[in-house]
């Protein structure tokens, strides 16, 4: 099955502005802490996280988690398998999870449940994109870049069948 890009939803310039804005909010909120751990959810968050952390002018560390939904379905099932866990214990730490997009919210609901049990001092979520109309659970998101309609999108880390992650902007594709 082939998909064609049919429009730019968010340009490089628009994304960059938002990334700076989010980084400033994050910096203001964490200015008292000297122990921020930024956790990216692979693979989608990679590009956004790379840009974001370079705009957060605070001492921080980074780590990544890789997860995969069970089943062949393209719909998130809510059952998540951890493919790569965090390298270190996060007990007592301030953890900020970075996502490219929250759709049903099931991936993050599962992840935050797991991480909270590790007795973090604080746990917050930052996502570039949010599709609230698709939500299947009650998930609190602390930092949202853009709320977007339920369109099929690619680019800036987001894939279609693993392709298009390297597009520097976010595009809609024909459905």
Structure tokens given for 94: 């301030």
- Give the nearest residue (CB) to ligand PRP: 44
Q: Which does 145 bind (CB under 5 to 8 A by kind): ligand PRP, Mn ion, Mg ion, none?
A: none
**Taking CB under 5 A as the rule, does residue 159 contact Mg ion?**
yes
How many residues sit close enough to Mn ion to count as binding (CB under 5 A)? 1
Structure tokens given for 80: 């998540």
Q: How far is the CB of 38 from ligand PRP (least distance, A)?
A: 16
- HSE, side-chain direction, 13 A CA sphere, residue 73: 9
Burial class (CB in 10 A: 0-12, 13-18, 19+), 13: exposed
Question: Given the rule CB under 5 A, which of 19-27, 31-39, 140-148, 157-165 is the region that contacts Mg ion?
Answer: 157-165
Q: At what angle do helices 12-29 and 46-53 cross, to 10 degrees?
A: 60
Q: Segment 24-63, which members bind Mn ion (CB under 5 A)?
A: 44
Nearer to Mg ion, 29 or 159 (CB): 159
Which phi-psi region, left, alpha or beta, contains residue 2 (left: φ > 0; alpha: ψ -120 to 50)?
A: beta
Nearer to Mn ion, 22 or 30 (CB): 22
Binding residues for ligand PRP (CB under 6 A): 41-44, 69, 76, 99-107, 159
Residues, the chain: 175
Structure tokens given for 168: 């520097």
Tell me, yes or no, if 130 is annotated catalytic. Answer: no
Q: Which does 69 bind (CB under 5 to 8 A by kind): Mn ion, Mg ion, ligand PRP, none?
A: ligand PRP
Q: How do 60-69 and 80-84 pair as beta strands?
A: antiparallel
Q: Which does 90 bind (CB under 5 to 8 A by kind): ligand PRP, Mn ion, Mg ion, none?
A: none
Nearer to Mg ion, 69 or 109 (CB): 69
Max distance between CA atoms of the chain, in angstroms, equals 50
Place of tokens 């957060």: 56
Which residue out of 35, 51, 87, 103 is catalytically annotated? 103
Residues labelled as active-site residues: 103
| List of residues contacting Mn ion (CB under 5 A) | 44
């Amino acid at each position: 099955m082939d998909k064609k890009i049919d429009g730019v939803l968010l340009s490089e310039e628009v994304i960059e502005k938002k990334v700076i804005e989010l980084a400033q909010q994050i910096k203001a909120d964490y200015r008292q802490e000297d122990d921020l751990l930024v956790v990216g959810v692979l693979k989608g968050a990679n590009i956004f996280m790379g840009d974001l952390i370079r705009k957060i002018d605070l001492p921080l560390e980074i780590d990544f988690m890789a997860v995969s939904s069970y089943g062949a379905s393209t719909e998130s099932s809510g059952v998540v398998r951890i493919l790569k866990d965090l390298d270190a214990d996060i007990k007592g730490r301030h953890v900020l999870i970075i996502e490219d997009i929250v759709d049903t919210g099931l991936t993050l609901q599962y992840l935050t449940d797991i991480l909270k049990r590790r007795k973090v001092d604080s746990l917050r979520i930052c996502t570039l994109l949010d599709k609230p109309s698709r939500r299947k659970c009650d998930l609190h998101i602390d930092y949202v870049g853009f709320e977007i309609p339920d369109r099929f999108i690619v680019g800036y880390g987001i894939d279609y069948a693993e392709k298009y992650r390297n597009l520097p902007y976010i595009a809609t594709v024909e459905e």
